[in-house]
């Protein structure tokens, strides 16, 4: 019988992950502090969300509520969405425009576009009585300010002075893959939030898990959008935290019987689309990549599945729950025909998507499956032991890369 694992015990190899890491409440609180509030860049919103002075968007850094705003000076600022007085949210809605300042609804304390406390209701009291002490300095009592960075149409925020500039944080390879998709002004086509019954790390692992895609998703396997018998591979950043996986259609895969020969359920003979135009993609990136999934540690996913484009934001909500914020987009210069194509292909992803419907529940299957297995280990050995880029997707290299980065931030 395996010896019980202490919360800080972890095998040296990246191929084994202890299940307590998805369950332990103290470890979860450490993640919020060391990762989300630590020396990382958290994806916050699209730059188009704060395109003009006075535009703002509310979001989160881990569990910390945050406001991102474009100020009248043209710069983007971020600050904690918490009134310095009694802790209420300063901004209650998801976003808006034309904001010159922000006023807390509870006691009307007022903050400027940079999040600095500039006004207190009845600061001098009333009729010569009450009010704040004479020496009270409003500027010393502002909510926490965040560093901000904009790149490739995305806004990132950080509480850390130690995190390097965003270009260095991403690295040239990841940035190039990101700019491949975020290559010109975009148009938001839809948003929603999906609540998932699993630890946030299980979903991040899933997005990096190129091994599962054509084994779990019937639609991928049957309609040959991504299969392990096609071309492609994974790119893992040197520190492990970021990745991009990609699929290239190969003529030899179109007649491959590999899935049927192994009895894999995700190639279903006779399955047809009532509207085949759903899978009538056009090339728009000057390459043969038909699917690319890109992640930026710790909370961003950028997807391209044919012409279906979306940004996903991962938000932890406890050891066994998370929110997934989806933003569908196209480009501002899309033709009416391309817009219709994208709207059809958006049916591929989401809570009831032909593809990602399974991703919404499989993390919960794991969370439930490991309920009594906190002292046990998962096996992450497909493709070897390392976390390097590879020209195959029959590998878990990018999953091991995630744990490589995670362990460094967590001191494990």
Indicate the CATH number for domain 184-410. Answer: 3.90.380.10
**Is the Cβ–Cβ distance between 396 and 382 less than 8 Å?**
yes
Q: Which residue has the higher pLDDT, 2 or 185?
A: 185
Least trusted range by pLDDT, from 1-5, 214-218, 293-297, 309-313: 1-5
Phi/psi for 109 (5° steps) reads -70, 140
CATH fold match for the domains 42-151 and 184-410: no
Averaged pLDDT, 234-260: 88
CB 360 within 8 A of CB 193: no
* 352: pLDDT strictly greater than 90: no
Q: Report how far residue 43's alpha carbon sits from residue 53's, in angstroms, rounded to the nearest whole number.
A: 20
Residue of higher predicted confidence among 240 and 7: 240
Distance CA 118, CA 103 (A): 10
How do the domains of the chain map onto residue ranges?
Answer: 42-151, 184-410
Q: What is the token pair recorded at 157?
A: 């925020």
pLDDT band for position 22 (cuts 50, 70, 90): very high
Question: What class, spelled out in words, does domain 42-151 have in CATH?
Answer: mainly beta
Q: Residue 5: pLDDT band by 50, 70, 90 thresholds?
A: very low
Q: Structure tokens of 139?
A: 């500027």
Angle between helices 200-208 and 359-369 (to 10 degrees): 120
What are the beta bridge partners of residue 98?
none
DSSP per-residue string spanning 295-322: EETTTEEEEEETTEEEEEEEEE-STT-E
Please tell me the pTM assigned to this model: 0.95
Contact 142, 116 (CB under 8 A): yes
HSE-CB at 2 with a 13 A cutoff on CA atoms is 11
Q: What is the pLDDT of residue 398?
A: 98
> Of all helices (H) and strands (E), which one includes residue 379?
strand 377-379
CA dist., res. 294 & res. 304, Å (int): 9
């Amino acid at each position: 019988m395996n010896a019980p694992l202490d919360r800080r015990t972890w095998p040296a190899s990246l191929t084994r992950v202890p299940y307590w890491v998805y369950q332990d409440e103290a470890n979860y609180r450490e993640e919020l502090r060391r990762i989300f509030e630590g020396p990382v860049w958290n994806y916050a919103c699209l730059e188009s969300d704060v395109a003009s002075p006075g535009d703002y968007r509310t979001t989160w850094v881990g569990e910390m509520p945050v406001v991102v705003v474009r100020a009248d000076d043209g710069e983007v600022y971020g600050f904690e969405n918490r009134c310095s007085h009694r802790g209420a949210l300063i901004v209650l809605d998801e976003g808006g425009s034309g904001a010159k300042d922000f006023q807390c609804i509870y006691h009307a304390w007022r903050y400027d576009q940079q999040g600095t406390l500039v006004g207190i209701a009845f600061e001098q009291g009333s009729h010569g009585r009450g009010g704040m002490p004479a020496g009270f300095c409003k500027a010393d009592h502002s909510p926490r300010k965040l560093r901000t960075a904009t790149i490739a149409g995305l806004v990132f925020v950080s509480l850390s002075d130690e995190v390097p500039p965003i270009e260095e944080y991403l690295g040239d390879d990841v940035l190039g893959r990101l700019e491949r998709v975020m290559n010109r002004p975009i148009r938001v086509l839809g948003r929603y939030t999906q609540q998932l019954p699993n630890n946030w790390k299980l979903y991040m692992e899933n997005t990096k898990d190129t091994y599962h895609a054509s084994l779990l998703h019937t639609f991928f396997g049957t309609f040959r959008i991504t299969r392990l018998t096609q071309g492609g591979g994974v790119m893992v950043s040197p520190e492990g935290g970021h990745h991009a996986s990609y699929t290239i259609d190969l003529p030899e895969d179109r007649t491959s019987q590999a899935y049927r020969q192994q009895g894999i359920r995700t190639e279903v003979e006779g399955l047809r689309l009532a509207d085949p135009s759903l899978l009538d993609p056009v090339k728009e990136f000057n390459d043969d990549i038909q699917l690319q999934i890109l992640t930026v540690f710790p909370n961003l996913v950028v997807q391209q599945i044919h012409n279906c484009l979306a940004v996903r934001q991962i938000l932890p909500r406890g050891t066994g729950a998370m929110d997934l914020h989806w933003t569908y987009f196209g480009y501002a210069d899309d033709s009416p025909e391309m817009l219709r194509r994208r709207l059809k292909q958006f049916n591929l992803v989401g809570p009831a998507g032909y593809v990602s419907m399974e991703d919404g529940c499989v993390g919960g299957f794991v969370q439930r499956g490991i309920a009594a297995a906190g002292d046990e280990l998962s096996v992450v050995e497909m493709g070897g032991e390392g976390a390097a880029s590879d020209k195959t997707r029959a590998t878990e290299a990018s999953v091991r890369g995630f744990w490589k980065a995670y362990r460094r931030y967590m001191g494990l």
